[in-house]
Structure 1
Amino acid sequence: MAHNTLKVHPQDNVIVALTDLQAGDVVEFNGRQIGIVTNIPAKHKFAEQQLAPGQEIIMYGSLVGKAVEAIPAGGILTTGNVKHQVSGFTGKTKTIGWQAPDVSKWVDKTFLGYHREDGQVGTGNYWLVIPLVFCENRNVDTIKQAFMETLGFGHQDLYKSYVQQMVELYQAGKTEQIAQLPLSSTPSNGQHRIFENIDGIKFLTHEGGCGGIRQDSDMLCALLAGYIHNPNVAGATILSLGCQNAQVPILEERIKALNPNFSKPLIILEQQKEGTEQELLTLAIRRTFLGLVEANKQKRAPAPLSKLVIGLECGGSDGFSGISANPAVGHVSDLVVALGGKSMLSEFPELCGVEQELINRCVDDKSADRFVELMRAYESAAIASGSGFDMNPSPGNIKDGLITDAIKSAGAAKKGGTSPVVDVLDYGEYATKPGLNLLCTPGNDVESTTAMAGSGANIILFTTGLGTPTGNPIAPVIKVSSNTKLALRMPDIIDVDTGPVIAGEKTIEEMGEAMLDFIIEVASGNIQSKAQLLGQDDFIPWKRGVSL
């Protein structure tokens, strides 16, 4: 790697600018000089040699686009001169071998987790309050207001006191002082917790459960069953209206399918049976409080790292994500898999162009064929709606160097490391096999992280190059920046900075190993991730159908 440029793969015909390059600059690369003909911001790519119209663009060793006009050596790649293009894919054509990383230094390490009767181990101990249908959201909010501050789970409301200060200045006739009024303190978890062994009560409101196609309600029940089954959950309170599509028996069947011997406390109340709203809420609050008393009896105990289930996510990606944060997270995935744990790679629209590699990494034809089936069905649905995977990059992605979906996808897939794919899961299915699992979700950050927790993730690694304030109600989300500028600009959301990889100060392997040590601390409850500290409890179920 030169200090200001990087060629990711030997077969690539484009080079990444690691720093801003100006027209007229000359960069040394592999013993030769390349004249820069246009200004190239850091994170963007330029042609190593002249590219003719129609010529294939190769990056990460994969086809990521084609030139739509001549691009001179040293010329920047843009949405105007490059068009998305990817290689086709079929079934499994070969088997890719894997050399597992050395994990001897972690074999005897443990994390402090909550051991469940079914053998799973949680990194947290949460109680859930969930509506089966949006009609119950207001009742869930009422329970939230009753419990959060009283039990010590509320976050200090800085902004409420900030507004109060402005009101006082206004009433005192000192409006001119408002423009310079500073925020006086920083967030905290507020009051002393009544239940010391409970990490939180989480309220998962949503807009589903009725009014759409039956498949969406069934999938919602599968997702909620996954959350209840997740090892980070001690028990749950479910509020049902009674007449909605997402019926209680469907949820109960989904839970039983995940665990026939399910034994967690589960409180299910139906408003149309209980009578008045007051009667429903009084019963829900009383029974939930008693459930919390039982859940508080559980304590953390040492667990092997094989009990980790790591979700792999990216959002607000930039041109550095695929060469620093994502491959570092990929190394973490390989370490966890080598230790006997599970990892989960989702966001199927962001695997466009790397399908064949993932197919060949599948351990059997059944998994490979299912991946092909899910990918083709998903892309066909996108095309039928007037869109397509090629429209995946956001304006922020494009501005920071990810100009085609194929470039974005090739970098995003690096989060999955190099280990074999042991299973392919559709949305709402639970991960049961140790190793790397592929999970069909949208590229939407929150819909994807929501799904991973529903499929059993007990911790989530989330890479970002632009800064994304995303968390999850039950799975601690560790935010990983691709560059140091972001980590310094938004320290309130970034946990780990992989910018030293870009600066040439650390290797991918060193960053991954440091990240695994950090994960152990978060999983043990010794450190709270920034998303946890900020109370970022994002939850959006994926709605695949139309409203009826």
Structure 2
Amino acid sequence: MSSKYLKIHPSDNVLVALTDLKAGEKIGSNGTSFSLVEDVPAKHKFVEKAMAPDEEIIMYGVLVGKALKPIAAGGSIGTHNVKHKSSAFAGKSKTFTWQAPDVSRWKNRTFQGFHRKDGQVGTANYWIVLPLVFCENRNVNVIRHAFEEALGFSKPDAYKDYVQDLVKLYQEGKTDAIATYNFKGNNTNGRSKVFNNIDGIKFLTHEGGCGGTRQDSEALCALLAGYIHNPNVAGATVLSLGCQNAQVDILKEKLNKLNPNLSKPLIVLEQQKEGTEQELLAQAIRQTFLALAEVNKQERKPAPLSKLVVGLECGGSDGFSGISANPAIGHTSDLIAALGGSSVLSEFPELCGVEQELLNRCESEKIANRFADLMRAYSKAAEAVGSGFDMNPSPGNIKDGLITDAMKSAGAAKKGGTSPITDVLDYTEYVTKPGLNLLCTPGNDVESTTALAGSGCNVMLFTTGLGTPTGNPISPVVKLSSNTKLAQKMPDIIDIDCGPVIAGEKTIEQMGEDILEFIIDIASGTKKTKATQLGQDDFIPWKRGVSL
């Protein structure tokens, strides 16, 4: 492989620039050579032979677009000369066989987790406070304000200290000094934790629960039930107004479906029954405090790696994502599958064009047909509102080399590795099978990570090429950069640099193994992700059909 450019698959007719290339540079490919006709920035692609209008663009061995106009050999491709095009798909058409990777080195490994009575194991121990309707957001935030600092869960607010310093300068008449007064970072200590075995109290405010469609409220209740059921959650406080669409009975019905023998403490209070706001809040705070004292008795104990449920996500992707970070976590996913654990690949709009490959990897025709049906229904719903999967790539994606949805999808699907697909889940459905699961979510980062935690993921792997701070309230999100430049530029949000794959310093397999080791540390509580350290608790329920 050249250190300057890469042909990903033998049947590809485009190559990827691994570094900035200049016009006139000689390129060797398929026993022939040609010169670049223009500069090609790193992460972008160029064609190896002249292309006529409507000629197909092949990358990762699949159809990812078509030429809009003639492109000379050695010419760069972009939205100006290439348009999205993807292959059609039918049902499962091939028998799939898989050679599992050697996992003997991890067979007897464990992580230190929180064991739940239903057999799940948490990688963290959180209490959650959530409203069934947006009307209760204020009350949830009052509880947050009352609990976080007093119990030692709040972080030192260096920015508040910074503003106070600026105020002091202003009051002293030193306004000229304000323009050059530097931020000093965290320089104060927070309070010590009262409950040492609890990782935090998380507050899941949202804008749903009433208005909208009844289906939205049903889905919201199912999502919140999934969060309560998630093994990283020790118990929950639920605030209801009383008259909203998202009724307490619906939440309890969804919980009963997930676990009819739920043994976690669950506090449910309804404002229209309790009376005054003061009575509601006093009840919620008192009952929650007593429950926290009880769940604080839980301790981490050894658990097999088969208890890991790993979400696979990407956001702010670039032209390197599909050749470094994504296949690296794909190998991690294969290791997890071989160890009897579960992994979950989401973002259905970013599986456009690779459907047939995924259908053939499904363990049964029934599972394959469900995937095909969900993909078609989602695509149809997007088109009904004047959109489509082809509109998924963001301006940042396009700027950094992902110019069609099929191209983006072909790289994004690498997160799912090579293992058989054991189950296909619709939005809010919960993971019950080991191996690779597909979960129907939008491509929107936070809506997707929100869904992954609601479906039972106790840790997530999140690849990025451009940099995104996304986290989750209850499931630690490991952030992996596709390139070293990003890891060096934004070290406060990146946990693992996959750039050594691009540089040829590590193989995909070596990087995937390193990632598994990191997961074990995170799951055991001996390391914390950057998103957790920053308190990046992103939570956005999906209003179905609204976003890609």
Scaled by the length of structure 1, the TM-score of the pair is 0.99
Are the counterparts in 1 of residues 113 and 300 from structure 2 also a CA contact under 8 Å? yes
Aligned position for 2:503: 503
**Which amino acid in structure 1 is aligned with residue 206 of structure 2?**
H
Return the alpha-carbon distance in structure 2 between the equivalents of residues 76 and 187 of structure 1: 49
Return the alpha-carbon distance in structure 2 between the equivalents of residues 529 and 490 of structure 1: 14
**Which amino acid in structure 2 is aligned with residue 247 of structure 1?**
Q
Aligned position for 1:244: 244
**Which amino acid in structure 2 is aligned with residue 164 of structure 1?**
Q
1:31, CA displacement in angstroms?
5.0
Return the alpha-carbon distance in structure 1 between the equivalents of residues 166 and 525 of structure 2: 37
Aligned position for 2:171: 171
**Which amino acid in structure 2 is aligned with residue 364 of structure 1?**
S
Return the alpha-carbon distance in structure 1 between the equivalents of residues 179 and 353 of structure 2: 51
Are the counterparts in 2 of residues 2 and 29 from structure 1 also a CA contact under 8 Å? no
Deviates more, 1:278-287 or 1:48-57: 48-57
SS of the residue 2:409 aligns to? helix
Are the counterparts in 2 of residues 154 and 189 from structure 1 also a CA contact under 8 Å? no
1:359, CA displacement in angstroms?
0.6
Q: Is residue 141 of structure 1 aligned with residue 156 of structure 2?
A: no
Return the alpha-carbon distance in structure 2 between the equivalents of residues 340 and 224 of structure 1: 27
1:190, CA displacement in angstroms?
2.3
**Which amino acid in structure 2 is aligned with residue 438 of structure 1?**
L
Return the alpha-carbon distance in structure 1 between the equivalents of residues 351 and 33 of structure 2: 34
Q: Is residue 87 of structure 1 aligned with residue 87 of structure 2?
A: yes
Are the counterparts in 2 of residues 188 and 533 from structure 1 also a CA contact under 8 Å? no
1:54, CA displacement in angstroms?
1.1
Q: Is residue 158 of structure 1 aligned with residue 146 of structure 2?
A: no
Aligned position for 1:7: 7
Are the counterparts in 2 of residues 155 and 188 from structure 1 also a CA contact under 8 Å? no
Are the counterparts in 1 of residues 29 and 48 from structure 2 also a CA contact under 8 Å? no
Are the counterparts in 2 of residues 153 and 189 from structure 1 also a CA contact under 8 Å? no
Deviation string for 1:76-101 (max 9, x for gaps)? 01101111000000111112211100
Counterparts of 1:400-411 in structure 2, within 5 Å, are 400-411=400-411
Counterparts of 1:69-468 in structure 2, within 5 Å, are 69-186=69-186, 190-468=190-468
Return the alpha-carbon distance in structure 2 between the equivalents of residues 444 and 183 of structure 1: 32
SS of the residue 1:105 aligns to? helix
Return the alpha-carbon distance in structure 2 between the equivalents of residues 61 and 188 of structure 1: 54
1:188, CA displacement in angstroms?
8.0
**Which amino acid in structure 2 is aligned with residue 357 of structure 1?**
E
Return the alpha-carbon distance in structure 2 between the equivalents of residues 508 and 219 of structure 1: 38
1:72, CA displacement in angstroms?
1.1
1:29, CA displacement in angstroms?
3.9
1:49, CA displacement in angstroms?
1.1
Q: Mark the runs of 5 or more structure 1 residues left unpaired by the alignment.
A: none
SS of the residue 2:64 aligns to? strand
SS of the residue 1:234 aligns to? strand
Query: Quick one: percent identity of the two aligned structures?
Result: 72
Counterparts of 1:50-65 in structure 2, within 5 Å, are 50-65=50-65
Return the alpha-carbon distance in structure 2 between the equivalents of residues 179 and 455 of structure 1: 48
Return the alpha-carbon distance in structure 2 between the equivalents of residues 191 and 334 of structure 1: 42
Aligned position for 1:43: 43
1:294, CA displacement in angstroms?
0.8
Are the counterparts in 1 of residues 378 and 545 from structure 2 also a CA contact under 8 Å? no
**Which amino acid in structure 2 is aligned with residue 482 of structure 1?**
S
**Which amino acid in structure 2 is aligned with residue 461 of structure 1?**
L
Deviation string for 1:386-414 (max 9, x for gaps)? 01000000000000000000000000000
Aligned position for 2:475: 475
Deviates more, 1:526-535 or 1:68-77: 68-77
SS of the residue 1:313 aligns to? strand
Are the counterparts in 1 of residues 381 and 545 from structure 2 also a CA contact under 8 Å? no
**Which amino acid in structure 2 is aligned with residue 308 of structure 1?**
L
SS of the residue 1:202 aligns to? strand
Aligned position for 2:528: 528
Return the alpha-carbon distance in structure 2 between the equivalents of residues 87 and 22 of structure 1: 33
SS of the residue 2:104 aligns to? coil
**Which amino acid in structure 2 is aligned with residue 244 of structure 1?**
Q
Return the alpha-carbon distance in structure 1 between the equivalents of residues 165 and 436 of structure 2: 52
**Which amino acid in structure 1 is aligned with residue 270 of structure 2?**
E
Are the counterparts in 2 of residues 187 and 534 from structure 1 also a CA contact under 8 Å? no
Return the alpha-carbon distance in structure 2 between the equivalents of residues 88 and 545 of structure 1: 22
Return the alpha-carbon distance in structure 2 between the equivalents of residues 535 and 314 of structure 1: 19
CA RMSD, 1 decimal: 1.0
Are the counterparts in 1 of residues 315 and 468 from structure 2 also a CA contact under 8 Å? yes
Q: Mark the runs of 5 or more structure 2 residues left unpaired by the alignment.
A: none
Are the counterparts in 2 of residues 216 and 545 from structure 1 also a CA contact under 8 Å? no
Aligned position for 2:34: 34
Return the alpha-carbon distance in structure 2 between the equivalents of residues 153 and 189 of structure 1: 12
Deviation string for 1:130-179 (max 9, x for gaps)? 00000000000000000001100001111111011111111111111111
1:422, CA displacement in angstroms?
0.5
Going from structure 1 to structure 2, the CA distance change for 1:423 and 1:189 (only over 3 Å counts) comes to farther
1:34, CA displacement in angstroms?
2.5
Return the alpha-carbon distance in structure 2 between the equivalents of residues 209 and 187 of structure 1: 40
1:302, CA displacement in angstroms?
0.4
Return the alpha-carbon distance in structure 2 between the equivalents of residues 187 and 88 of structure 1: 57
Going from structure 1 to structure 2, the CA distance change for 1:186 and 1:261 (only over 3 Å counts) comes to same
Are the counterparts in 2 of residues 428 and 454 from structure 1 also a CA contact under 8 Å? yes
**How many residue pairs align between the two structures?**
546
Scaled by the length of structure 2, the TM-score of the pair is 0.99
**Which amino acid in structure 1 is aligned with residue 540 of structure 2?**
I
1:30, CA displacement in angstroms?
5.2
**Which amino acid in structure 2 is aligned with residue 198 of structure 1?**
I
1:447, CA displacement in angstroms?
0.1
Going from structure 1 to structure 2, the CA distance change for 1:188 and 1:383 (only over 3 Å counts) comes to farther
Are the counterparts in 2 of residues 130 and 204 from structure 1 also a CA contact under 8 Å? yes
Going from structure 1 to structure 2, the CA distance change for 1:93 and 1:539 (only over 3 Å counts) comes to same
Return the alpha-carbon distance in structure 1 between the equivalents of residues 235 and 328 of structure 2: 34
Return the alpha-carbon distance in structure 1 between the equivalents of residues 235 and 165 of structure 2: 40
